[in-house]
Amino acid sequence: MTLPSATLLAQSALSGLFIGALYGLLGLGLGLSWGLLHLINLAHFAFAFLAAYVCYQLATVGGVDPFLTLAIIVPSFFALGVVVQWLLARFEVSPLNSLLATFGLTAIVEATIQHFWTADFRKLDSAYAQMKFRVGELFVPVPELLTFLLAVGLSLAIWAVMRYTDTGRALRAAAEDGPIAEAFGVNRRAHSLLLAGVCAALAGVAGVCLALSFTLTPAQIYGWVGVVFAAVMLGGLGSALGPLAAGIIIGVSEALAMAVASPSWAPIVSFTLLIAILLLRPGKP
């Protein structure tokens, strides 16, 4: 086995950084709803892909700039998240059953996507797709860079809200002891709806990033589940910055493993990490 050149390794690490940021962005909403709403929302991935297809449609057919589609996707996915949470609360779905219910929802969304866009590959051809610039020896692709900036910006913003605002503190308190938080005036129902809306909107943003950099096919929904779960569990449930940091660690390790060994190593890296986390942090769910 010959070691690849330093430039190739650096380029690999950079692409690992970018895909890791997308893991983190996908994990952000998943982890928030898991940690703070005690809801394991598998449909988060389906929502992201639905948003990716909506972005594809608006950009390809409607000629809208992919980033401008956020103006439609963010509010409508917020509403979608609110409706789903309202239904889950209405029927008092337990955390375990939420996994099953949202798995069912995933299948419904997948079927819907397949109905409208078929199972064929779809690739968004936007002005951004070919944009890249050089930094020294390295190429920096613009869509991935923008994904990275969005992931960092949104994670920091959510972190600040959780830490410094009354609403953020109320959400964390309600996750620890709902009835007591309520006794101090926290309207748990309204907060759950708000948070679920934000998580779905984050899935929408992640979907736009997916559409910018990846070829879409409905079955791909499931391809992201394992690695993003690993990022969320490594980063900490309910944490705002954890999934991003963990996602980047996983992304970079995968990319280096691919560069040094072979592409088939990538999943092994993330699942080895996931199993190691489960074994080393037995107290965590």
Q: For binding to other proteins (CB under 8 A), which residues are involved? A: 166, 169-170, 172-173, 176-177, 179-188
Q: Which is nearer to other proteins, 63 or 185 (CB)?
A: 185
Shortest Å distance, C-beta 185 to other proteins: 4
Q: Which is nearer to other proteins, 36 or 210 (CB)?
A: 36
CA distance 220 to 227: 13
CA distance 43 to 172: 23
Shortest Å distance, C-beta 179 to other proteins: 5
Q: Which is nearer to other proteins, 22 or 193 (CB)?
A: 193
DSSP symbols for 49-104: HHHHHHHHHHHHTS---TTTTHHHHHHHHHHHHHHHHHHHHHTT--HHHHHHHHHH
DSSP one-letter code for 218? G
DSSP symbols for 141-204: EHHHHHHHHHHHHHHHHHHHHHHHSHHHHHHHHHHH-HHHHHHTT--HHHHHHHHHHHHHHHHH
CA distance 182 to 197: 20
Shortest Å distance, C-beta 172 to other proteins: 6
Q: Which is nearer to other proteins, 100 or 189 (CB)?
A: 189
Q: Which is nearer to other proteins, 65 or 182 (CB)?
A: 182
Shortest Å distance, C-beta 50 to other proteins: 33
Distance in angstroms between the alpha carbons of the first and the last residue of the chain? 39
DSSP symbols for 185-199: T--HHHHHHHHHHHH
Q: Which is nearer to other proteins, 133 or 189 (CB)?
A: 189
Shortest Å distance, C-beta 187 to other proteins: 5
Shortest Å distance, C-beta 40 to other proteins: 20
